[in-house]
Amino acid sequence: AQKVTQAQTEISVVEKEDVTLDCVYETRDTTYYLFWYKQPPSGELVFLIRRNSFDEQNEISGRYSWNFQKSTSSFNFTITASQVVDSAVYFCALSEALDNFNKFYFGSGTKLNVKP
């Protein structure tokens, strides 16, 4: 079974629109970390955020915000006022205490196209 599901394969928006990327995870562990990474066309993964399972506070960083809800096992990512430079593939990932946090389970990724 897929541990991390990103149901949106590809999203296209026009610049300045807000966009939310969904991430649903599955784990039996009570202690885990959730991550978001950005992968631009160059291929290099850019770390965006890490959240541990005990911290459900939403986080905002500039135009980026994250909504962590354990009740729905979701860790959604919102970009406000999107820009062309936001175009990339975004991956959500999970690591669990069971694996000593060594294994990263990546979702299938969501490709975001921001058009001018």
Partner 1 sequence: GAVVSQHPSWVICKSGTSVKIECRSLDFQATTMFWYRQFPKQSLMLMATSNEGSKATYEQGVEKDKFLINHASLTLSTLTVTSAHPEDSSFYICSALSSGQAYEQYFGPGTRLTVT
- Binding residues vs partner 1 (CB under 8 A): 33, 37, 42-45, 47, 50, 52, 91, 95, 100-104, 106-109, 111
In the bound complex, what is the minimum distance in angstroms from residue 83's beta carbon to partner 1? 23
Comparing CA positions, the residue from 8, 33, 11 lying closest to residue 107 is 8
The least CB distance from residue 21 to partner 1, in Å, is: 14
Residue 96: closest CA among 21, 36, 12, 25? 25
Quick one: 42 or 57, whose CB is closer to partner 1?
A: 42
22 near 6, Cβ under 8 Å? Answer: yes
- Neighbouring CB atoms inside 10 A of 6's CB total 21
Beta bridge partners of 67: 76
Cβ proximity to partner 1: between 47 and 116 the closer is: 47
In whole angstroms, how close is the CB of 18 to partner 1 at the nearest point? 25
- Shorter beta-carbon distance to partner 1: residue 82 or 95: 95
Which tokens go with 9?
Answer: 């394969």
Q: Which is nearer to partner 1, 70 or 103 (CB)?
A: 103
Give CA–CA dist 84/90, Å, rounded: 14
Q: How far is the CB of 60 from partner 1 (least distance, A)?
A: 21
